[in-house]
Structure 1
Amino acid sequence: MSQSVPPPQSGPAGANPYAQQPGPAGANPYAQQPPAGAPYPPQQGAYPQQPGAFAGPPAPPAPGRNNLVLGLVAAVVAAVATAALYGVVIGATKHEIGYAAVGVGFVIGLAAGKAGGRNPVLPVVSAVLALGSVYIGQLVGEAMIGAKALNVGFSELFFQHFSVVQEAWKQDADPLTFLFFAIAAFAAFSGARKAAA
């Protein structure tokens, strides 16, 4: 059996017998192109969304959130700074001030919570650092008061005669002194939790 083959046509269209056949408009995505400079309309249903697929790349995590080391570093820096400031306030006023102890604790907790996030260790560490910060601040204040009374330098009294400063603190300590410790620890603990929320 032999089939008849159409005779070749002359010209470029003759090379492809289907070149002159129009196809349906929906079959060719380029058949209905917009004018030059106009945006292409979105293709509806070209690639349907697969179940469980992401619409785009996931958002990057918030910087510094739930970072224990960063929270600890921030809390220690805040503790050192607030201890010095609290000591200067005590030395200048010759009184322990409750609001200053609250501020010490709150600043430590705030720094830990903002830098470290929601790590459950940070509120506890903040409370412990607040206790140490208030204690050092009270010793700094005691040394400032003693240095003025003895007419010696603060650094000489604080660093070379630290045991004398501690003895003076023990003699001056009263129940209010220990209440300030508790206030500062509570402020640090709650401050760290609120800052991380």
Structure 2
Amino acid sequence: MSQSAPPPQPQPQPQSLPTDANPFAQQPPPAPARGTMALGLVAAVLAAVAAAALYGVVIGLTEHEIGWAAVGVGFVIGVAAGKLGGRSPALAITAAVLALGSVYLGQLVGEAMIGADQIGVSFSELFFQHLDVVQRAWKAEADPLTFVFFAIAAWAAFSGAQKAAR
């Protein structure tokens, strides 16, 4: 007697992908490099220096402090810190402190531009060789609105860092 083998059962076939499909398409893309406190800090410092220079030039050319420019200074610093540094309350506070320094430096640059024009010397000579004179002139012209601009810039930096990190 010969036994017959049962007929072969069809095996389930794996679903094949079209030849033009990306086999990695189901995987999410890698997250961009973010969230490093050091990178956020470096970006905030660079933004603070650039914003101070620009703010100083605006003050020097217009011979007035401009509130919206102080908002811009703070916001640029905060966004740079938040985008590259991620969520960190310490980084947002650092951005606010940098904004205070940036507005102050910008006001000194503006004061030096105005003073250099008035006394007929170069900006670099007045700013770099006689910074004490520039600081005394700034103190003499500072009014309550000057300090409001400091507060606005710090607030814009802090809130900009928090919003950019989301």
Q: TM-score, normalised by structure 1?
A: 0.73
Equivalent of residue 81 in structure 1, options 50, 61, 80: 50
Matches of 2:144 and 2:88, distance apart in 1: 33
Q: CA deviation at 1:176?
A: 0.3
CA drift of 1:58 comes to 7.3
Structure 1: runs of 5+ lacking an equivalent: 1-5, 7-16, 31-39, 44-56
Structure with more helix by fraction: 2
Of structures 1 and 2, the one with the larger relative CO (CA 8 A, separation 6+) is 2
Contact 1:65-1:118 within 8 A present in 2 as well:
no
Structural mapping, 1:46-195, within 5 Å = 59=28, 62-195=31-164
Residue by residue over 1:99-131, the C-alpha shift from the partner in whole angstroms, topping out at 9 and shown as x without a partner, is 000000000001111111112211100000000
Matched, 1:42 2:19: no
Whole-angstrom distance in 1 between the partners of 2:53 and 2:14: 66
Helix, strand or coil at the partner of 2:33: coil
How big is each residue's C-alpha offset from its partner over 1:17-75, in whole Å with a ceiling of 9 and x where there is no partner? 99xx544422x739xxxxxxxxx5539xxxxxxxxxxxxx9757522322101100110
1:29 corresponds to which residue? 11
Consecutive unaligned residues of structure 2, counting only runs of 5 or more, are 17-25
Distance between the aligned counterparts of 1:58 and 1:127, measured in 2?
Answer: 38
TM-score by length of 2: 0.87
Task: Tell me: CA distance 1:139–1:189, structure 2 relative to 1, closer, same or farther (3 Å).
Answer: same
Aligned residues: 158
Kept in 2, the 8 Å contact 1:113–1:192? The answer is yes
